[in-house]
Amino acid sequence: MNTELWDKIVQFDFDNPPSEYGFSTRLANENYWTKDFTEKAILEYKKFMYLAATSEFMVSPSETIDIVWHQHLIFTQSYQEFCDLIGKQIQHIPSTHNKEDFSKFKQAKERTIKFYENTFGTQPSDIWEFEGMYESLNLNKAKLKLRTFIIIGILSVIILIAPFYLLLKPIYITIDNPDFLLYFIGLVVISVIILEIYNKDKLKIITRSFDKNSFIYSLQPFELVYLQTQQLSKVINGAVNELIDDETIKVNTDNTVKLVIRGETKSSEQLQVATTLSEIGKTAYPILLTHLLRKPIFWNIVNAMEAFKKYFIKSKKFSQLFYLNFGILSTLLMLGSIRLITGILREKPIIHIGIVVIILTIIIIYYLNRLTNMICMHTIPNLYKTHILPAKDIENDWQWNYFLFGSAVLTTTFIPLVNYADRNNNDGGSSCGSSSSSSCGSSCSSCGGCGGD
């Protein structure tokens, strides 16, 4: 291995000079990638380019690396400087899908695997084996969309009410109130409790089926903060608080904030906060928060997490779980509705059963919506709290403590500003799944390999 060349490649910064929508930010934004996966994909791209620079044969990228490569080609100056650095003009050769190309690229892929393993060791499966970031979840897509299923389900319940009314009427007329209400409410409560226990256990089982190299196991603290709270403002509060702790930002006595030290940042999120505050000057925190809520570096977190949720709820495994919940809850609603219809037709008092049916309808809508968010707000955060983080040394890591303990670890002088901002700002990133693309990071498959001149 040419250690000197590899060291130069590693040190090459695709984000130099820093900008609001630089290489890494744009790459993550356009593909709905997490921060760690983006960094890992760029590193593997560098390894691939090292192989291309030092080999005498064609090497072939994975789908993920090809995405990074396409992105780098757009940044023409950076790409030219990179090629100058490695001493070779690496050409991107697209596949024309003919038989000769298929054989050529297949051989290139086989040689690339061997060359990579001899140089760097085993290829990371999440970058080299799967077609994209989300494929590592091992989730097959459901044939029926949830929205379509809900419509079919509602229509089915309406159609079944008539035959079930005829079936249940002889039984219902023998049960007086309040006995029926007590039995019915008890049945609903027991059913919901059982469903809650089953859902949590089933979601845990599904997460265990994810590939162990999946991005889910390498989420950043701020990504988990968003998953757990569904509020992008909470993420920004954390980034700002770190700068206050470092005395880069000062909280004034009039509850405004101002930048004290320029250039002293430890992450791209902190750099964005400092840059924005430098541009607008001393200001009230809600104003700063409003500006930061629009920045790509923070919206990347929303996009990636929402794309994950959207990908997950479209899966066959989750759909089956949703179908079960919908079936049980709609059956309960149908039983209550038939009791209500029976009372109306027999001219009996229906106020109490009517109220119960209305409340149950609201509960079902809330519960099913909550189920679609449970993987984000409960399952994944709890996975980190109970299994992943106990194996890590995070005692002195403020971001992880912020994920675990929330606003309790914020600086005392900053808490009043956060509370005021929470009362006066709408977050815009409050629901996992609202802004992600259905492509969920689909990759270009037209590239077969590369060659050098």
Structural domain boundaries of the chain?
A: 3-135
Rounded alpha-carbon distances, angstroms, from residue 164 to 160, 161, 336, 342: 6, 5, 11, 11
**For 335-350, what is each residue's pLDDT tens digit?**
999 999 999 998 888 8
**For 70-97, what is each residue's pLDDT tens digit?**
999 999 999 999 999 998 888 877 665 5
Nearest to 150 by CA among 358, 303, 371: 371
pLDDT of residue 18: 82
pLDDT band at 446 (very low <50, low <70, confident <90, very high): very low
The answer to whether the CB of 245 falls within 8 A of the CB of 305 is no
Cα–Cα dist 29/295, whole Å: 11
**For 415-438, what is each residue's pLDDT tens digit?**
999 998 888 765 544 444 444 443
**Can you give the length of the chain in residues?**
453
The answer to whether the CB of 9 falls within 8 A of the CB of 50 is yes
What predicted TM-score, i.e. pTM, was given to this entire model? 0.86
Q: Checking phi first, is residue 177 left (phi over 0); if not, alpha (psi -120 to 50) or beta?
A: beta
pLDDT of 141 > 50? The answer is yes
Q: Which amino acid is at 248?
A: T
Is the model more confident about 199 or about 213? 199
**For 312-368, what is each residue's pLDDT tens digit?**
999 999 999 999 999 999 999 999 999 999 999 988 888 999 999 999 999 999 999
Cα–Cα dist 144/447, whole Å: 32
Give me the residue label for tokens 């490695």: 86
Cα–Cα dist 159/137, whole Å: 38
Dihedral, CA atoms, 300, 305, 306, 309, nearest 10 degrees? Answer: 160
Arithmetic mean of pLDDT over the chain? 88
**For 157-197, what is each residue's pLDDT tens digit?**
999 999 999 999 999 999 888 899 999 999 999 999 999 99
